[in-house]
């Protein structure tokens, strides 16, 4: 076990790495890329695809049930995806049993038999990450309700105006409209497997699946182009890969599973969460205020008068997994996250006291423009990341024109990445135009979406984040405000605000997980090319499995009943209502907001340059980006606790003490993931709702 502490994002100006300070499992990433799978790497492709496909089906169904019905945990959304980690835990436990059985039967200490190797385990983990992204809140999970909500008789009332303003603007192939089909979906006690129901959903599901696959493919091409810069040249820290690497070392037959501190962290996290699960089932049992909203955790409610109440919500949280993740981060990263978040709250109070903001949503009097700064920060970091990778990108362009084999160790050939990425971008734009976008709208929307995905991947690869949100000014809202809603037709508004707003939630964006897979592969001596086919297959199958799992469960339990998570049923018509509002009362182009975006981009670039040129500079640009999103609302307190713990440990115990304590914090993460999943299994077995361990 070791530390990621000495890793720096820009080694050309701030110094290189100290391999001795890295975990043993990450030391190989400092060596030149492998030209082929080394002799000790044992990957059985048939096992990967067959077992991976079965796991994707199980992952989709149980993950959907655990969140939608049992309501015991988020299977998706977290930066270190909960579902795949839980599935990896189960795989490793089964693997250990297989290894021990093989040794017992063969009467010798060596030998693995049919057990999975570490390389096979991480390939399966990467596939599960893709499938989990597909079923996430920003993809299938929210879309499935919103695509049919306006057409259900219970919602399409005379007061909603859906029939007059939404129905004529939605292509017939985009969503089923048959009343009988929709009644079963929203009311439950029905079945998906009626031929009439299946035929009604077939075309819409395939159309949306093609669009989602275009997103996955386009971002996979972008991952190929950025991998060398981030993994080998800038050497980003990738803190979240440490847990899966330690879990799978030697197929699970490693010291990690024998470490008492790791199991101490696991048990503490599990017991804390279990106490709250028991309190949910038996209120006489006391609870612990781990989450926002629990007694004593809402600080913001203490301030009821201006200007202090302008800060809005300020809440405490003590998630064990988030404290564990914060401990993995470099001190300047974790410091920047919580410090800049608190400064953003202070800026709200200052602007209210100075009369620069009235707390409303007017076009100009809404300083400090945090929503707009957030978009600017994401754009600035995306631009700076591309600039830092300019030599790699230039070499990729030359390789596309005149192949030399320079890209043989990449996820895919550079020619395929550039041309394939271009085709993916065109496919995304073509779908949006087909549902009602203009060419300009599609170009703005896709450009912003890809830039945000790139920055999210950078955030997860360097700052962990725990729960990485996109800017609150979503691609759909930004596109409308940049052009002016008053300039758009009813069909364009319906397509933009009625059928793409779900994409504003990018916590399950696939690019961060694609990039994590590249780093994990390097740490296990797997070349990037070994991941291409499994990831592509998992993306396609995972999307279809996500649609199937949600549809199957909704036809049983009902998407608009008390048996499913309220946030999903309540969102069924939210997008359509927004579209109706904008059709009837359109807004104008938001020039002040666009100016604030530019200011945010300049500030993010300035922070990036300061960090590159000034070794003593304490603030990280990724902390600025995270501070302007919802991420730090839930994570600032755990990151502060982790920052204090790590700083004290390093100051008084040095690097040796930090390394010794690291298994405990990895155990906090693992216990906070696995134990709620077991409660989810209990909910599945008893057909009962459970306590939601995260986020609120």
Predicted confidence (pLDDT) at residue 403 exceeds the cutoff of 50: yes
Please tell me the distance from the alpha carbon of residue 152 to that of residue 277, in angstroms, as a whole number.
35
pLDDT cut 90: percent of the chain above it? 79
Please tell me the distance from the alpha carbon of residue 199 to that of residue 537, in angstroms, as a whole number.
24
Average pLDDT over residues 284-304: 91
Among candidate residues 526, 461, 454, the one with its CA nearest the CA of residue 220? 454
Please tell me the distance from the alpha carbon of residue 357 to that of residue 315, in angstroms, as a whole number.
22
Predicted confidence (pLDDT) at residue 149 exceeds the cutoff of 50: yes
Contact 543, 56 (CB under 8 A): no
pLDDT of residue 359: 53
Task: Provide the β-strand partners of residue 357.
Answer: 366
pLDDT tens-place string over residues 648-687: 999 999 999 999 999 999 999 999 999 999 998 898 888 8
**Radius of gyration over alpha carbons of the chain, in Å?**
25
Structure tokens at 7: 């890793």
Predicted confidence (pLDDT) at residue 424 exceeds the cutoff of 90: yes
3-state secondary structure of 315: strand
Phi/psi at 618 (5° precision): -90, -15
Q: Burial letters for 38-61: b for 16+ Cβ neighbours within 10 Å, e otherwise?
A: eeebebeeeebbebbbebbbebbb
Among candidate residues 105, 132, 282, the one with its CA nearest the CA of residue 677? 132
pLDDT of residue 43: 81
Predicted confidence (pLDDT) at residue 108 exceeds the cutoff of 70: no
Please tell me the distance from the alpha carbon of residue 71 to that of residue 553, in angstroms, as a whole number.
13
Please tell me the distance from the alpha carbon of residue 450 to that of residue 82, in angstroms, as a whole number.
24
pLDDT of residue 17: 39
Predicted confidence (pLDDT) at residue 14 exceeds the cutoff of 50: no
Question: Hunting for tokens 């929203």 — which residue is that?
Answer: 186
pLDDT of residue 13: 37
pLDDT tens-place string over residues 171-186: 999 999 999 999 999 9
Instruction: Give how far the C-alpha of residue 285 lies from the chain's centroid of Cα atoms, to the nearest Å.
Output: 34
Contact 310, 348 (CB under 8 A): yes
pLDDT tens-place string over residues 602-621: 999 999 999 989 989 999 99
pLDDT tens-place string over residues 565-602: 888 888 899 999 999 999 999 999 999 999 999 999 99
In 65-176, alpha helices (H): 82-106, 118-134, 142-146, 162-165
pLDDT tens-place string over residues 109-129: 555 568 899 999 999 999 999
Residue 26 confidence class, pLDDT cut points 50, 70, 90 = very low
3-state secondary structure of 565: coil
CA angle, 66 then 205 then 576, to 5° = 80
pLDDT of residue 386: 96
Residue 16 confidence class, pLDDT cut points 50, 70, 90 = very low
pLDDT of residue 109: 52
User: How confident is the prediction for the chain on average, in pLDDT?
Assistant: 90
Among candidate residues 224, 220, 215, 218, the one with its CA nearest the CA of residue 543? 215
Predicted confidence (pLDDT) at residue 315 exceeds the cutoff of 80: yes
Among candidate residues 13, 11, 383, the one with its CA nearest the CA of residue 231? 11
pLDDT of residue 73: 81
Among candidate residues 681, 551, 621, 679, the one with its CA nearest the CA of residue 181? 551
pLDDT of residue 342: 96
Please tell me the distance from the alpha carbon of residue 635 to that of residue 631, in angstroms, as a whole number.
6
Please tell me the distance from the alpha carbon of residue 385 to that of residue 169, in angstroms, as a whole number.
39
Kindly report the pTM of this predicted structure.
0.92
Average pLDDT over residues 153-157: 92
680 CB-side CA count, 13 A: 27
Max Cα distance, the chain (Å): 79
Predicted confidence (pLDDT) at residue 28 exceeds the cutoff of 70: no
CA angle, 276 then 280 then 285, to 5° = 70
Average pLDDT over residues 41-67: 91
């Amino acid at each position: 076990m070791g530390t990621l502490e000495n890793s720096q994002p820009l080694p050309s100006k701030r110094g290189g790495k100290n391999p001795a300070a890295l975990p043993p499992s990450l030391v190989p990433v400092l060596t030149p890329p492998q030209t082929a799978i080394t002799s000790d790497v044992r990957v059985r492709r048939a096992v990967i695809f067959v077992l991976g496909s079965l796991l994707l089906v199980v992952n989709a169904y149980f993950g959907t049930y655990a969140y939608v019905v049992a309501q015991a945990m988020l299977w998706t959304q977290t930066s270190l995806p909960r579902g795949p980690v839980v599935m990896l835990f189960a795989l490793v436990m089964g693997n250990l049993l297989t290894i021990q059985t093989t040794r017992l039967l063969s009467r010798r200490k060596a030998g693995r038999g049919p057990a999975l190797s570490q390389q096979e385990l991480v390939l399966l983990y990467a596939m599960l990450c893709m499938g989990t992204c597909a079923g996430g809140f920003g993809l299938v999970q929210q879309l499935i309700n919103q695509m049919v909500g306006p057409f259900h008789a219970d919602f399409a009332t005379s007061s909603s105006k859906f029939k007059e303003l939404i129905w004529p603007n939605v292509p017939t192939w985009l969503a089923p409209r048959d009343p009988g089909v929709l009644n079963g979906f929203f009311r439950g006690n029905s079945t998906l497997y009626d031929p009439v129901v299946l035929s009604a959903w077939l075309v819409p599901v395939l159309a949306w699946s093609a669009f989602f696959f275009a997103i996955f493919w386009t971002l996979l091409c972008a991952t190929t182009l950025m991998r060398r810069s981030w993994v080998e040249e800038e050497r980003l820290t990738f803190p979240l890969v440490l847990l899966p690497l330690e879990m799978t070392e030697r197929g699970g037959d490693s010291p990690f599973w024998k470490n008492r501190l790791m199991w101490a962290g696991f048990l503490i996290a599990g017991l804390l969460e279990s106490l709250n699960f028991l309190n949910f089932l038996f209120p006489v049992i006391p609870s612990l205020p781990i989450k926002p909203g629990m007694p004593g955790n809402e600080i913001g409610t203490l301030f009821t008068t201006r200007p202090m109440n302008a800060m809005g919500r300020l809440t405490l949280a003590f998630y064990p997994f988030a404290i564990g993740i914060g401990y993995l981060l470099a001190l300047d990263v974790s410091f920047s996250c919580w410090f800049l978040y608190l400064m953003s709250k202070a800026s709200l109070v200052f602007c209210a006291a100075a009369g620069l903001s009235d707390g409303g949503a007017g076009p100009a009097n809404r300083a400090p423009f945090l929503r707009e700064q957030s978009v600017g920060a994401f754009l600035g970091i995306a631009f700076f990341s591309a600039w830092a990778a300019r030599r790699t990108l230039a070499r990729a362009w030359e390789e596309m024109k005149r192949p030399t084999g320079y890209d043989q160790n990449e996820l895919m050939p550079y020619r395929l990445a550039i041309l394939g990425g271009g085709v993916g971008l065109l496919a995304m734009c073509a779908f949006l135009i087909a549902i009602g976008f203009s060419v300009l709208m599609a170009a703005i929307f896709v450009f912003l979406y890809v830039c945000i995905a790139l920055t999210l991947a950078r955030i997860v690869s360097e700052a962990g984040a725990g729960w990485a949100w996109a800017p609150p000014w979503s691609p759909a809202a930004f596109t409308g405000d940049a052009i002016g809603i008053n300039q758009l037709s009813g069909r364009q508004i319906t397509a933009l605000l009625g059928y793409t707003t779900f994409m504003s939630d990018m916590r399950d964006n696939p690019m961060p997980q694609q990039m994590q897979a590249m780093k994990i592969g390097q740490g296990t001596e797997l070349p990037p090319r070994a991941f291409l086919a499994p990831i592509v297959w998992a993306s396609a199958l995972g999307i279809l499995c996500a649609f199937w799992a949600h549809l199957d469960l909704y036809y049983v339990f009902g998407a608009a009943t008390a048996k499913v998570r309220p946030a999903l049923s309540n969102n069924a018509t939210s997008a359509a209502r927004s579209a109706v509002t904008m059709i009837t009362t359109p807004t104008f182009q938001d020039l002040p907001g666009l100016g604030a975006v530019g200011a945010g981009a300049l500030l993010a670039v300035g922070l990036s340059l300061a960090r590159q040129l000034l070794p003593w500079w304490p603030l990280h640009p990724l902390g600025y980006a995270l501070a302007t999103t919802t991420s730090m609302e839930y994570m600032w307190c755990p990151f502060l606790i982790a920052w204090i713990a790590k700083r004290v440990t390093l100051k008084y115990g040095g690097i040796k003490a930090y390394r010794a304590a690291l298994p405990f914090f990895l155990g906090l993460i693992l216990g906070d993931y696995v134990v709620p999943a077991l409660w989810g299994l209990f909910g599945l077995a008893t057909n009962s709702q459970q306590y939601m361990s995260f986020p609120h």
